[in-house]
Amino acid sequence: MCGIVGYAGARDALPVLSDGLKNLEYRGYDSAGVALCEGGAPTVYKTVGEVDDLRAVLPDASEATVGVGHTRWSTHGEPTDANAHPHTDCTGDVAVVHNGIIDNYDDLKAELEADGHAFASETDTEVVPHLVEAELADGASPADAFAAAVARIEGSFALAMVVDGTDAIYLARQDSPLCVGHGDGETFVGSDVTAFLEHAREVTYLENGDVAVVTADELVVEHDGERVERPVEQVEWEADAAEKGGYEHYMLKEIHEQPRALRQTLSGRIDALEGEVDLDVDLPREYLNSLEEVQFVACGTSYHAGLYAANLVEEHADVRATVHVASEYQFRGGRDPWRTLVVAVTQSGETAETLAALREADRTGARTLAVTNVVGSSVTRLADENLYIRAGPEIGVAATKTFVSQVTSLALLAVHVGRERDELTPTEASDLLEDARGLPGAVQRVLDADAQVRAVAEAYADSDAFFFIGRALGHSVALESALKLKEISYDHAEGFPAGELKHGPLALVTDDTPVVAVLTGGARAAETVNSVKEVESRGAPVVGLCTDGIGEKFVDDALAVPDLGAMSPLVANVYAQLFAYHVANLKGRAIDKPRNLAKSVTVE
């Protein structure tokens, strides 16, 4: 989820691109670059770091009236100058910027290298300019060369290309947003409207499958080879609202970004038909078969992702899995490092306690794996192996999309370990991967029910104590749901394994303590119904997160969770995110920056 900007017009493109990149930088990026068409091959300036670092290497002005720019959030390849966008072909005539992931880049790169193309970066993006180069060499026009290249790539992408000898920008969109702003004799391109909002408010949003060419005064869109018209919309948002995509808070925007984040997490990693997973981590089969324990170390929400994962690893890979609050890890003994895989789960990759736990694991000689959202973060330099969750940058202090992407990445890890240990048959793995593949759609269905969640939140927002209960995978979701609510609403919220209620917490249950119960597949819903009856008989209202047919008739408010097997509790968690958001919003809390909390906790 990088940022793209483009300009075609009559004035100097450089300040427009530079300001556009600055506008896109609000989410924090790791490298940036521009390609300027000054009458010849595009001139490329790029660097690792922030837009200000790029500005330090840019000239004060340029002759270019056409150009593209990019801020990068790494998914393939470390943040380096070489991996920064734009990427060029062998001749330097073609420059491309890209958001998203090209799933089949390995195959394409091998084919292009065999044909003599030299690659300068580790990115998936670089296959695009080389594909275009090959088409141009065969005599295709830039537009046809671009369309032919786009037809060969699979995955998610927003692409913008400039080519020597044209004053156009070539665009393509698949599962990654791209829009065009219409000015007076000039045209702007952006991955979102913040890239050009001060210049243009009439905007055309490209749709999936669109390939387009923009010049200073024209936008031509094709879909499946046919010319199509896309509507021009008026954007009323101010810059602050635009950064949030029109949502009131980053947290809500990030909740709604989850289907896209999940697609990126899964992209190119699963073959559901064959029951195969490709995570690009070096955990050899012999090593995985010698394993006696997988230890997850993490804090907060990431700890809850670890709990979910431990359950899956034990069930599907038949190996003991333990979960450790990172700050407590050093106080535990009894390790056999040679047979233990230590998995550090941290979205930021910078949490001090998780890093300390990883250092401790490393000191004992255990093999380590980091599961993180941030390429090049501290944890990636400490761990033996890295698995990126690819959720895109998260600004809200309350983790949402990173949690679902963490759990999904870890579910894939569980399938991988299970397959390598021959504890999962291809058919069983295939079923699990089908469930994972269904996540973006299932989460979208929950998001579509937001009005219903808001109504439930309105009914209970006056309470100031809430309980969340669940079993098995539903237990980790109950804990995560309670954390989300307490973080942003400041209400007392606790999550419990449903069976524990009667061992103490039941004393707190009254008719003013709403209870949210996870009653989905994968969460032992039938047994949890007994706990629902226990709290109801004490007068507590119950909200059920229910997979079809389980539990609805026992609860006061039922929110329907699509049935996705072991992934259902994760989908239910999205209801809890929305519930927490609406309760906090009704109470007027500072949702994106709750009191006393920081996004990244870098001190022990």
How many residues touch ligand AGP under the rule CB under 6 A: the total is: 15
Smallest distance, ligand AGP to C-beta of residue 301, A:
3
Residues 6 or more apart from 438 whose CB is under 8 A from it?
562, 564, 567
Which residue number is nearest to ligand AGP in terms of Cβ? 300
Q: Which amino acid is at 109?
A: K
Secondary structure (3-state) at 46? strand
405 part of the interface to ligand AGP, by CB under 6 A: no
300 part of the interface to ligand AGP, by CB under 6 A: yes
351: nearest Cα among 313, 404, 416, 406: 406
Q: Which of residues 31, 47, 194, 347 is near ligand AGP by CB under 6 A?
A: 347
487 part of the interface to ligand AGP, by CB under 6 A: yes
351 part of the interface to ligand AGP, by CB under 6 A: yes
Q: Is the bond leading into 541 cis (omega within 30 degrees of zero)? A: no
Smallest distance, ligand AGP to C-beta of residue 172, A:
33
Residue 253 known to be catalytic: no
346 part of the interface to ligand AGP, by CB under 6 A: yes
Q: Which is nearer to ligand AGP, 294 or 398 (CB)?
A: 398
121 part of the interface to ligand AGP, by CB under 6 A: no
391 part of the interface to ligand AGP, by CB under 6 A: no
Q: Which of residues 189, 398, 442, 482 is near ligand AGP by CB under 6 A?
A: 398
Spatial distance between the Cα atoms of 548 and 519, rounded to a whole number of angstroms: 9
Positions in 352-371 near ligand AGP (CB under 6 A) = 354
Q: How many CB atoms lie within 10 A of CB 332?
A: 13
Q: How far is CA 411 from CA 16, 389, 459, 521, in A?
A: 43, 11, 35, 16
Please report, in angstroms and rounded to a whole number, the separation of the first and last CA atoms in the chain.
Answer: 30
Phi, psi for 283 (deg, rounded to 5): -125, 90
Q: Which is nearer to ligand AGP, 156 or 301 (CB)?
A: 301
Q: Which listed range, 43-51, 348-356, 508-516, 563-571, lies at the site for ligand AGP (CB under 6 A)? A: 348-356
Per-residue DSSP letter, 524: T
What is the Cβ-side half-sphere exposure of residue 209, based on CA atoms within 13 angstroms?
A: 7
Interface mask toward ligand AGP for 244-283; x: CB under 6 A: ----------------------------------------
Q: Which is nearer to ligand AGP, 114 or 603 (CB)?
A: 603
Smallest distance, ligand AGP to C-beta of residue 494, A:
15
Phi, psi for 175 (deg, rounded to 5): 60, 20
241: nearest Cα among 56, 88, 26: 26
Residue 533 known to be catalytic: no
The answer to whether the CB of 325 falls within 8 A of the CB of 331 is no
Pairing of strands 233-234, 202-205: antiparallel
> Considering 90, 587, 593, 599, which one is annotated as catalytic?
599
327 part of the interface to ligand AGP, by CB under 6 A: no
Positions in 442-481 near ligand AGP (CB under 6 A) = none
Phi, psi for 528 (deg, rounded to 5): -65, -25
Catalytic residue IDs: 2, 599
> What is the binding site for ligand AGP (CB under 6 A)?
299-302, 346-348, 351, 354, 397-399, 487, 600-601
